[in-house]
Amino acid sequence: MGSVSNNTINTNVKACSPLTGAKRLREMLKDPSKVVVCPGVFDGFTARLALAAGYDALYMTGAGTSMSRLGWADLGIATLNDMKSNAEMIASLNPSVPLIADADTGYGGPIMVTRTVTQYARAGVAALHIEDQVQEKRCGHLLGKQIVDREIYFSRLRAAVMARDQLQSDIVLIARTDSRQTYGFDEAIERLQEAVKIGVDAVFLEALQTKEEMEKVCQIMGETPVLLNVVPGGVTPEYTIEEASKMGFRIIIYPGLCIGSVLESVGKELKLLKTTGKSSPRSSANGVKDAFNLCGLQECIEIDKEAGGKAYATVGK
């Protein structure tokens, strides 16, 4: 008997969902008044919390994936297999909710980029972004980034577009450039303009430094959707969703949203136990049961019951 995959049990969406995440995202981007807001998630638990909060789309952060799965900072250590398997698990929790996933540099030359796009598309990812850093990349808001030549970057994007088209996939391709910090705003714009000619669906200018730059990139890119990366404490000024929408941004991601919350709350709880010898009142059995319910306990019990099973008859009581 074969093993059961993450996609086998999907308790949040009916099997006959009319739209996949990729198709739904494309529908969202067709509406010029719609802004796609994505909290950054990095595992099944944070993804479940975001889904329960009612978000229309999610963003799988590469930094969060590297730290949660490997325990290491975002320095290009996570591989295609690390990223793809995490994205597939998150996307499977509710396939009708679009998941935008970090794909770093595509993990190699054109052949590897083709493989990356193919695997992400088959994993149910709605969109991915590919950047122009060297393979030994780092978080977009850290200093000292090294950028590849234009033609290397464009070859990555051409490979991604070819893979999407050959698959006849709806996956949304986002061209990300980190060249603003090293070569300036104009170079970054020219790279993105060429990316649109190559055939990407949206663009992402990382580490914008002023409000004027934020407004200008949206004006220049016209009808092409522009993604805004919101990193509190980063180099890009932070504005509300409404303010960013008025500037022209169509996709807004908050990659560190859950990272910061977990770092603060869990760190505080661990310190409390270490110093006082007991946990806070909320760290109780009821809290664990609430977490189980968040992660599909009742739906699994119902599946077992409808199939005639009795193994979990008393679990939910």
Q: Which residues are catalytic?
A: 59, 74, 102, 104, 129, 131, 139, 176, 206, 229
- Helices 150-167, 185-198: crossing angle, 10 deg rounding: 30
Give yes or no for a contact between 132 and 89, defined as CB atoms under 8 angstroms apart. Answer: no
* Residue given tokens 């990300």 in the structure block: 176
Q: Which residues pair with 173 in a beta bridge?
A: 128
Classify 223 in phi/psi space as left (phi over 0), alpha (psi -120 to 50) or beta: alpha
* Residue given tokens 């679009």 in the structure block: 98
* 133: amino acid identity, one letter: Q
The CA-to-CA distance between both ends of the chain, in Å, stands at 32
Give yes or no for a contact between 83 and 62, defined as CB atoms under 8 angstroms apart. Answer: yes
